[in-house]
Structure 1
């Protein structure tokens, strides 16, 4: 076959070749004389198999033409699934505004989806959640949201109406389990673990602590004690709830950790060398000293009566920053004293914006810097 014969065959079928004839099997770039777009059909497919010469707009139009159906049968299908069309049938594969005959919600539905069994109403099924409906459910569960609805599985900063403390439950858990508050839960656990005087005394002695006053009557109340190992006076002392867990007894002898029931603070520090921002919480001054020793600079600090409240705000800050697609700036190897998961590059987020966001969350300005 000559090139002239191949070109003539393609022209007769509505395509003008724009490159030399490559043979009957390889793709051959041609200009469609109908839509004006360039595609690459094979000569053998077009001439011997009878396929179209255009794989672009013309092919799409042919497929759509085969799927076109009358509006009346299409509307009947929609009604059979509980959807009342509000406009004329737009065509196959296109959204069709319709109203649910059960709840009245209006949604764009595709006829093909409805026909495949995906025509259920998400509003009737309770899966459509707005900020208003989510806030209503949280308030009914004695939780007052402090920020807008973040999503069903994301931490939601709320204030408990029972204990007035701040926490970050998720909408999904509250919807299934009802009231969710760490502080209230701790009190319930403390009530369940309440001991008599003899059992309480035995628990303290097992941890090497000598009580100096009578048992306060609750596992969640501080108990004045003396360490039998280092003679340190603990006043206020540990609670039975804490020493019966992994926290241990004497803070001088044991590893230090954050006690959510004690006063603490939320802080912001920056590192000019790494060009990084870090946020965190603590209830010992040594934490800031550790950062300063590694060339971090204290920017702002917010004090709290309970470190647990500071932790709730810290978690919300992290969720807010990560929701903007901002990832951590440093690795664990770059931070000797830990905390790399609460970092971000200053190039990715504005420091003043973070401070204003924290002020809006906490409802307070940061503490004034210490006098030199």
Structure 2
């Protein structure tokens, strides 16, 4: 390939976005025939557009229209039977799961990325009436309308009569926890408890948590061994009080659109569901919420 002025840098820029030029460099404003090193398709983007942030490959980005026969073959191979005409890879395509027989709009771009059937995985939207029946079968009596699979659901444990906030998708998973008070998990509902707020500098995260005051090993010390620093603590008369305050703070944060920030892999000692990005809520702000939830003392 003959190189013109600026060609070495141009080729390097193309390689940086996983494109292999097939023709000599034509300039930034002309189309440059290239091959995508990810999917193998040939295209002709303008280098100027790529340098301005435009996605290099429309096939990888889900913007190119596949041949409908090829698209259908991809769906069948992934275990889905198309029931409508192919729209486009990034648009919902109604198809039937060959395992559970559910019919939903599934995006071909998601299927190609390895995302399977949400119904089989227990992640699909659930009918509120059926969800309430399922909760009672798991020994929880819902106290409010179904909030969604991943949201805390205010309920009464039918074993211990305590008010709890389990998530239905957690209950469906093998690692999902049920009633905190029945499991105790270091928190005795009738014994003194500790509510704490901690920060993690390298993760840029803030966390709220609760534990029994006499639990050994110390839950706070366990977090500190993983790089967390204690911001504030308060001692509550009972584990029931600590749990109520923690859940109220979490609900307030969720109404602001905040979701858990870290993952279970980042927190092997558990507790990742009570972590948040400190860019969205600081430790002092979270502590103020905890004091507000606690009320006059």
**TM (normalized to structure 1)?**
0.37
Higher helix share: 1
Q: Give the TM-score, by structure 2 length.
A: 0.45
